[in-house]
Amino acid sequence: MSSGVDADVFEQLLQVVDRFARERLIPAEKRVEEENDIPEEIVAEMREMGLFGLSTPEEYGGIGLNVPQEARLIEALCYASLTFRSLIGTNVGIGAQGIVMDGTPEQKDEWLPGIASGEVIASFALTEPDNGSDAGGIRTMARRDGTDFVINGTKRFITNAVRAGVFTVFARTDPSRPGADGVSAFIVPANTPGITVATPDRKMGQRGTKTSDVIFEDVRIPETAIIGGPDNLNKGFRTAMKVLDRGRIHVSAMAVGQGQRMLDIATDYALERKQFGKPIGEHQLVQGLLADCQADLHAARALVHATAETFDREGKAILEASCAKYFCTEAAGRIADRALQIHGGAGYMSEYDIERLYRDIRLLRIYEGTSQIQQLVIARRTLAARAA
């Protein structure tokens, strides 16, 4: 098991983040929704707290949480709007983990301190207009030119692209191999000539998060920018998959944090709101909705913790991470639906938080692998294990 930070230090940090989410972030949620951005003073506070470097190893200036600790901390942070998490999410997770997991010592020295402090935002550029679930079908090309590569292509829905200082970019380096085998991962500074970041997308929820197309036109980078160095040519798909496995545990923890928030809101409403002469929480059908939320939440939380422990112990948890992401995000969707139902007509009105949380949570079943991709991974591995 990887050590993570000392247990006492971690418990203190957890309390600080829990308080920060409840006392600082939740009161700012409506402003974020209206302004479609996170106030600068909150960004600065998140930097000061070291949140950008939660999972960066301590030797590079991060806090160095292990995966079980990261899961508990992300659950606490995600009691508040998911938008706040998205600001640090690519540095803690998918944008940076390729460098943490597979980078050379030089690449780590160059990039991880800035990523840990939040001075550099790292962004993960995998998805394309024609390739999301089929990650091995990447069309962005990186053509060799001497000891350089020249990248051309478009990436889509790239979180934090407008804020990025560096992209981890997945591009095809061997056109003769159309699938996962011909893909490499590159570290591309965002100021490299030829990169255009489009205007951020308008989305259903999670206002204040920034996703955009990123267009690469003749972007020239040296072969030393391949994650892990030139020897890792054509091995980028595995880096992407490893990053996503870990990311799926992270997303599961987000679902639990939001699930708890929605259940608390629905419970408070059930205690206050009266119909037929008594609080609706005293009506058994409403109790049934609350009970189903609580059972889903307990199961989801237990699954995240167990999966995080497995990842920490074994260094991977492919089947388990897909099970967790599938179950926890679907459970959060069910909790959102019931919590809104408990609110009745009020739940459909934007002055109630549940309307916004319901929209925000919808994305969890889609990004970092849709529920259907998780089903596919789970089923393939289940069949393969019995067939072996």
Catalytic residue set:
368
Give min distance, CB of 135 to ligand COS, in A: 4
Is residue 254 near ligand COS by the rule CB under 6 A?
no
Is residue 180 near ligand COS by the rule CB under 6 A?
yes
Is residue 127 near ligand COS by the rule CB under 6 A?
yes
Question: How far apart (Å, rounded) are the C-alpha atoms in residues 111 and 103?
Answer: 10
Is residue 135 near ligand COS by the rule CB under 6 A?
yes
Size of the site for ligand COS (CB under 6 A): 22
Is residue 375 near ligand COS by the rule CB under 6 A?
no
Is residue 241 near ligand COS by the rule CB under 6 A?
yes
Q: Is residue 244 within 8 Å of residue 193, measured between CB atoms?
A: no
Q: Which is nearer to ligand COS, 142 or 373 (CB)?
A: 373
Q: Which is nearer to ligand COS, 128 or 223 (CB)?
A: 128
How far CA 13 is from CA of 29, 49, 96, in Å, comes to: 22, 9, 22
Is residue 245 near ligand COS by the rule CB under 6 A?
yes
Q: Which is nearer to ligand COS, 207 or 250 (CB)?
A: 250
Measured from the Cβ of residue 78, the count of other Cβ atoms closer than 10 Å reads 27
Q: Show the site string, 349-368: x = touches ligand COS by CB under 6 A, - = not.
A: ------------------xx
Give min distance, CB of 175 to ligand COS, in A: 17
Q: Is residue 80 within 8 Å of residue 25, measured between CB atoms?
A: yes
Give min distance, CB of 380 to ligand COS, in A: 7
The count of residues in the chain is 388
229 Rama sector, left if φ>0, alpha if ψ -120 to 50, beta otherwise: left
Q: Which is nearer to ligand COS, 357 or 373 (CB)?
A: 373
Q: In degrees, to the nearest 5, what angle opens at C-alpha 373 toward C-alphas 385 and 79?
A: 110
Give min distance, CB of 279 to ligand COS, in A: 41
* Nearest of 304, 297, 296, 292 to residue 260 by alpha carbon: 297
H-type helices in the chain, by residue range? 7-19, 26-35, 40-48, 67-77, 82-92, 94-102, 105-117, 236-272, 284-314, 318-342, 353-361, 371-387
Is residue 133 near ligand COS by the rule CB under 6 A?
yes
DSSP annotation string for 124-191? EE--BTTBSS-GGG---EEEEETTEEEEEEEEEEEETGGG-SEEEEEEES-TT--SGGGEEEEEEETT
Q: Which is nearer to ligand COS, 50 or 132 (CB)?
A: 132
Q: Which stretch binds ligand COS (CB under 6 A): 57-65, 134-142, 148-156, 227-235?
A: 134-142
Among 242, 334, 359, 381, binds ligand COS (CB under 6 A): 242
Residues that bind ligand COS (CB under 6 A): 126-127, 132-136, 179-180, 237-238, 241-242, 244-245, 318, 367-369, 373, 376-377
